[in-house]
Amino acid sequence: MPDLMARAAEFIAGKLAANVSRPVTYVRGADSAALDATVGRSSFDVDDGHGVMRFETRDYIVRADALVLADVQVQPRRGDRVLEQVGDGSTVAYEVVNIAGSPEWRPCDSSRVLIRIHTKLAGSP
């Protein structure tokens, strides 16, 4: 019997790419990959002992199998960058981060078809 959840994840990934994604470039050192990404955000509450601080990240939801650098499928790593073209034609860079020891990314589904990459604004590329 086929895995219905995996098929559903593939279906959703296709719909996101076709309807609510934008082209971005994922960069690690000299290597890069063109990806279709859906933009989201995540909130993290961090207790520093004096109070709780809330951090928000800009997230990019991408197909895990599309994240290929130098012909090797990779996982997001702190310090990598996502380059996105904005409305005025300029390019903005977002850096992959982890907040308070949380991972830099997390799967969006049990089959790991889609992953959510956490980033922060880094300015110009």
How many domains does the chain contain in total?
A: 1
Query: pLDDT category, 2, cuts 50, 70, 90?
Result: low
Tell me: the pLDDT tens digits for 84-112?
998 888 999 999 999 878 899 999 988 89
> Which pairs with CB-CB distance under 8 Å and at least 24 residues apart come from 66-75?
66/33, 66/35, 66/36, 67/26, 67/33, 67/35, 67/115, 68/33, 69/26, 69/28, 69/31, 69/32, 69/33, 70/31, 74/28, 75/105, 75/115
| pLDDT beyond 80 at 26 | yes
- Structural domain including 13 reads 4-123
Query: pLDDT category, 1, cuts 50, 70, 90?
Result: very low
Around Cβ 67, how many Cβ atoms within 10 Å? Answer: 20
